[in-house]
Structure 1
Amino acid sequence: MSVAPGTVGDVDELVERVDTHDRVLGVVSRSEAVRNSWLHRVGVVVCRDGRGRFLVHRRAERLTRFPGHYELGVGGAAGVGESYAQAAARELCEELGVRATVCSRFTFLNRAGLSPHWLGVCDAVLLPESVVPDPREVAWHGWLTEPELRRALREWTFTPDSRQIFERYRPR
């Protein structure tokens, strides 16, 4: 995908185009999948700390997708042959500098956002001090209790995926 000068964007990665049953149809570029509203896979991880607080972050202003929006999940498109959990773990490392075991929780067909996609939601428990965000990706991060997160979801501008994830997420 071409990116405007001075912005941070996604390299035009290859993803698996899938059907409404999450079966692989073929390999396409992510920009092609988004442009044509073709289903593809995205893996995200909901991060919590030992006290049960949720990690929330604000996307950097220079990002091409949802700049400055808040997010509950950390994630991105699953590459060819990559599971939802593998994609989520990779993105966790890239965006927050954390290597952690992620546990798959659920998948759902998400029609919110830029284009429809299958969303594989995972979770992980992190030590707050282990989080070292990449400033090109994350402008701010904080740990919110569930009531604080519920209030923030009403008052702050979140990505469409965040609301969909929270509505379906129940902690273990």
Structure 2
Amino acid sequence: MSSSDEIIDIVDEHDQVVRQATRGEAYAKGLRHRCVFILARDADDRIFVHRRTATKTVFPSRYDMFVGGVVGAGETYDEAALREAEEELAVSGLPRPVPVFTFLYETGDGLSWWSRVYEVRCVLPVSPQVEEIEWHAFLTDAELDRRLAEDARDGGRPWTPDGLAAYERLRAARASDA
């Protein structure tokens, strides 16, 4: 079964399930659904950063500081976060990702998804899925922030807009907790 045939929950503006559809239909018709974003840190507290493959349906060949994906039909955010993190990092036995916050992401061109952001510590060696991840590295917060600032200034690496939105919210939440 291809990812476009995967059945997912379609939700309303209050994140309540209203029906189910294939992922392909959800994207084609702009149906609101659920996604998880997991910020994975290694034992040295560095962030897993990667470039998505060109075959990805949404934001192909873009850089991202989150692993994650679409929540399956009947699946909870928490279940999807663990499944997606283990799949994309190609690890087993990862601790349960810790939820941080939820927000509605809207693309401006008709697509939107409820997004739950998580954090997880991955001390296991990673070997990311080649179907999903073209390049990866672990970067310190300072290295990531420097790259984001440089890319925003000079139009360098293209980043996933939903990942950028989630990361900005995460940084703001950390700043308000400090």
* TM-score (normalised: structure 1): 0.86
1:152/1:118 Cα in 2 relative to 1: closer, same or farther (>3 Å)? same
Q: 1:109 aligns with which of 104, 109, 112?
A: 104
Give the match's secondary structure for 1:82: coil
Aligned to 2:17: 24
Gaps of 5+ in 2: 152-156
Q: CA RMSD in A?
A: 2.1
- Asked if structure 2 preserves the Cα contact closer than 8 Å seen for 1:44 and 1:87, the reply is no
Partner of residue 147, structure 1 = 142
Q: 1:23-172 alignment to 2 at 5 Å? A: 23-99=16-92, 100=94, 101-112=96-107, 115-127=111-123, 130-154=125-149, 155=151, 156-170=157-171
Could you tell me how far apart the structure 2 residues matched to 1:23 and 1:15 are?
13
Note the alpha carbon deviations across 1:36-95, whole angstroms, 9 max, x for none: 222100112110123321110111233333222111111111011111121121112222
Q: Which of 46-55 and 20-29 deviates more?
A: 46-55
1:44 and 1:75 in contact (8 A); partners too: yes
Q: Which amino acid aligns with 1:90?
A: R
Aligned residue for 1:94, secondary structure, equals helix
Aligned 8 A contact 2:4 2:24 in 1: no
The amino acid that maps onto 1:118 is W
Q: Mark the CA change 1:81 to 1:113 in structure 2 (over 3 Å): closer, same or farther.
A: farther
How many residue pairs get matched?
164
Give distance in 2, aligned partners of 1:16 and 1:64. Answer: 18
8 Å CA contact 2:52, 2:134 repeated in 1: yes
Instruction: Give the letter aligned to residue 70 of structure 1.
Output: Y
Which residues of structure 1 form unaligned runs of 5+?
A: 2-8
CA positional deviation for 1:163: 0.6
User: What CA distance in whole angstroms lies between the structure 2 residues aligned with 1:50 and 1:71?
Assistant: 20
Measure the CA separation in 2 of the matches of 1:44 and 1:113. Answer: 20
Q: Which has the higher helix share?
A: 2
Which stretches of structure 1, 4 residues or longer, exceed 6 Å deviation after superposition?
none
Q: Between 58-67 and 26-35, report the one with greater CA deviation.
A: 58-67
2:29 maps to a residue whose letter is N
